[in-house]
Structure formats: C-alpha cells, structure tokens
C-alpha cells in the first residue's frame, strides 16, 4: 500500500530513528488526510468543485511523499477532471479517491503500530 522506496527515503533523513521522524511525518499525514477528506466531502455536498480540486491538489504531493502512490494518482485524476470540466467523471473519481484514502489510512495506522 505504501511504496517501500518512498518510506526508505524518509528513513534516510533519520537513520537511527532517534527522532522518530517517519512516525511524526506519518502521524501528521494522517491528521491532514482526515482534514482534506472532510474538505473534499464538504465541497462535494455544496457542489463546490474548486474546493474538491484544492483538497485533491493538496493531498496529491503529501501522498506521494509517504509512498501512497495510487492515492496521489487519483488526486491528480480528480484535479484534472475538475480543471478540464469533466463534471460527470468527478463523483466516481472522488469515490475511488475516498476508498483508496481509507486503505492508505489503514496502512499508515498499521505502520505506526509497529
């Protein structure tokens, strides 16, 4: 679920693990993930595609940085669909993004509980 190379890259920043950098990054990501998914859901309820696009854009790079590559790809797809006015595609892509976000959240939680 989380790309091993991305996680290894984070681990090189704190090779001994003494600063618990990876754990802090993943914990911060988890909080941000919840906030951004709520923002996206609120935007969806209001029919505010700009809010959906902004949440997807924000989540895209942070997801890539922790190795949630599929989630990052889905964020990019949502962002593109909104930007290009593909209104019919947005709900399905947001559903897919939210489902993948749930899987990523579980993977992060599992990593943190080790």
Domain count, the chain: 1
Q: Mind listing the pLDDT tens digit for each residue in 19-45? A: 999 999 999 999 999 999 999 999 999
- Contacting residues for 28 by C-beta, under 8 A, at least 6 apart: none
CATH number of the domain to which 94 belongs: 1.20.120.160
Please give the full DSSP string across 33-101, using - where no structure is assigned. Answer: HHHHHHHHHHHHHHT-HHHHHHHHHHHHHHHHHHT-HHHHHHHHHHHHHHHTT-TTTHHHHHHHHHHHH
| pTM of the predicted model as reported, rounded to 2 decimal places | 0.94
For residue 1, pLDDT over 90 is answered with no
Range of the domain at 58: 4-112
For residue 100, pLDDT over 90 is answered with yes
């Amino acid at each position: 679920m989380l790309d091993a190379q991305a996680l290894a890259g984070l681990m090189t920043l704190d090779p001994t693990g003494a600063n618990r950098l990876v754990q802090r990054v993943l914990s911060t990501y988890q909080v941000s993930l919840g906030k951004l998914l709520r923002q996206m859901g609120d935007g969806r309820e209001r029919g505010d595609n700009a809010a959906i696009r902004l949440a997807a854009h924000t989540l895209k790079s942070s997801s890539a940085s922790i190795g949630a590559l599929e989630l990052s790809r889905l964020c990019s797809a949502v962002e593109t669909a909104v930007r290009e006015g593909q209104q019919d595609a947005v709900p399905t892509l947001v559903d897919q993004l939210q489902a993948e976000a749930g899987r990523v959240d579980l993977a992060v939680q599992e990593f943190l509980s080790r």
